[in-house]
């Protein structure tokens, strides 16, 4: 097991990679605990949960809305949870988002921790303290930043993931490699067979490398006013695709990475060889699909992106594998690139 600590002002969050999830009882307070999970995770693991109240949600993005937060808060009141309470999330990114959001607003804030059950959550969503719910057709428009006390990333839980969900997580892993870890990129390139076989030892290494990088970024910039913006690589286009097409987050981000990589090449930030390596790796894992939006669909969603300030947007470019830069770009330039890219296809 590897413990990776994220230190932010006034708080410490321990990410425990390789720890068995069912050893969580030793990290919990003696009372005032509730579990938030979803029906899929509850079906697979619920009989091994600690003997405490469990609230199970419908799986997927449809649960990421304020009505669900309100309903859960009412359930906490009925369960007698006060300001000394503790919310334990057991699930993927959606469950951790909801649980973290709830913990951050219930009675102005109670403690929380996560058992991260998907690759997408382990390499990205459960680390860093971001919590969000969707508003209408805009992803994560309402949110908070609250660090969990701990996150358990047990690679054994990934064995029960459907292949589609597993591959979705690989997209975020590849994103991390592109923006900050060339060695991680090369390890993914040469480990295709082991990755597809869900080799536990390799997954522990991959998850730990991703978490270490994100931990350094978050410790430096918890509130996303500078460096942390690089973690949004591929997400400007990706979030728009996700919300419009209703596809899994990682697959939408993979298409967003392709577009961001092509945009980086067009602006001279990346050479042809690195551009082709990035796209080729995504294609090898069958992550790239024809998820194009119309110009009007893309414009509507990008103009509502929370990274936009006035007529500009903070856009993340790759400067070559393992390097990234954030540039304030006119929204019209981003949309203009998208239109020309689609016209050439």
Distances (CA, A) of 40 to 9, 58, 87, 153, 329: 36, 8, 19, 18, 41
Compute the Cα dihedral for 205, 210, 214, 216 and give only its sign: positive
Q: The whole model's pTM is what?
A: 0.94
CA pair distance 185, 175, nearest whole angstrom: 9
Place of tokens 């470019």: 317
The DSSP code for 293 is P
Partners of 113 in beta bridges: 88
Q: Other C-beta atoms within 10 Å of 99: how many?
A: 29
Instruction: Describe the strand order of the beta sheet including 324-330 as a list of residue ranges.
Output: 308-309, 312-318, 324-330
Q: How many CA atoms lie within 13 A of 88 on its CB side?
A: 24
CA pair distance 271, 181, nearest whole angstrom: 17
Query: What are the φ and ψ backbone dihedral angles of 151, each rounded to 5 degrees?
Result: -130, 125
Encode burial over 6-26: b for 16+ CB neighbours within 10 A, e otherwise: bebeeeebbbbbbbebeebee
CA pair distance 340, 334, nearest whole angstrom: 10
Let me know if 227 is exposed, middle or buried by CB neighbors in 10 A (0-12, 13-18, 19+): middle
pLDDT at res. 219: 93
pLDDT at res. 345: 67
* Domains contained in the chain, CATH given: 2-157 (3.40.50.1970), 163-209+226-344 (1.20.1090.10)
3-state helix, strand, coil split of the chain in percent (to 5) is 55, 20, 25
Strand 308-309 to strand 312-318: parallel, antiparallel, or no bridges (unpaired)?
Answer: antiparallel
- All residues at 6 or more sequence positions from 232 whose CB lies less than 8 Å from its CB, including other chains: 307, 314, 316
Tokens coding 133:
């719910």
Closest CA to 82 of 35, 36, 32: 32
**Residues 66 and 142: beta-carbon distance below 8 Å:** yes
pLDDT at res. 290: 73
**Residues 238 and 255: beta-carbon distance below 8 Å:** yes
CA pair distance 72, 265, nearest whole angstrom: 46
- Average pLDDT, 10 consecutive residues per value, the chain (345 residues): 92 96 96 98 97 96 96 97 98 97 97 98 92 90 95 97 96 97 98 98 97 94 93 95 90 96 97 98 92 88 88 96 96 96 81
């Amino acid at each position: 097991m590897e413990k990776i600590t994220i230190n932010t002002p006034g708080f410490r969050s321990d990410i425990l990679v390789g720890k068995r999830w069912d050893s969580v009882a030793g990290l919990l307070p003696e009372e005032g605990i509730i579990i938030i999970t979803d029906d899929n995770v509850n079906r697979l693991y619920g009989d091994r949960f600690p003997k405490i109240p469990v609230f199970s949600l419908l799986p997927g993005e449809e649960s990421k809305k304020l009505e669900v937060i309100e309903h859960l808060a009412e359930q906490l009141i009925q369960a007698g949870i006060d300001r000394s309470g503790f919310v334990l999330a057991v699930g993927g990114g959606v469950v951790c988002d909801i649980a973290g959001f709830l913990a951050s607003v219930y009675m102005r804030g109670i403690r929380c921790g996560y058992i991260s059950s998907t690759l997408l959550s382990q390499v990205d969503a459960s680390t860093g303290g971001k919590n969000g719910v969707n508003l209408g057709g805009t992803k994560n428009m309402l949110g908070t930043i609250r660090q969990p006390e701990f996150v358990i990333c047990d690679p054994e839980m990934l064995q029960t993931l459907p292949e589609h969900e597993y591959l979705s997580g690989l997209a975020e892993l590849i994103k991390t490699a592109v923006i900050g870890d060339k060695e991680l990129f090369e390890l993914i390139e040469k480990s295709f067979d082991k990755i597809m076989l869900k080799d536990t030892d390799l997954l522990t290494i991959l998850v730990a490398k991703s978490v270490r990088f994100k931990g350094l970024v978050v410790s430096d910039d918890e509130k996303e006013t500078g460096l942390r913006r690089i973690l949004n690589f591929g997400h400007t286009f990706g979030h728009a695709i996700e919300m419009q097409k209703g596809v899994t987050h990682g697959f939408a981000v993979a298409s967003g990475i392709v577009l961001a990589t092509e945009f980086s090449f067009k602006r001279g930030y990346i050479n042809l060889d690195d551009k082709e390596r990035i796209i080729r790796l995504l294609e090898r894992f069958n992550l790239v699909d024809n998820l194009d939006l119309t110009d009007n669909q893309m414009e509507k969603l990008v103009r509502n992106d929370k990274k936009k300030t006035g007529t500009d947007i903070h856009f993340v470019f790759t400067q070559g594998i393992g390097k990234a830069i954030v540039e304030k770009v006119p929204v019209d330039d981003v949309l203009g690139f998208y239109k020309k890219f689609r016209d050439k296809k």
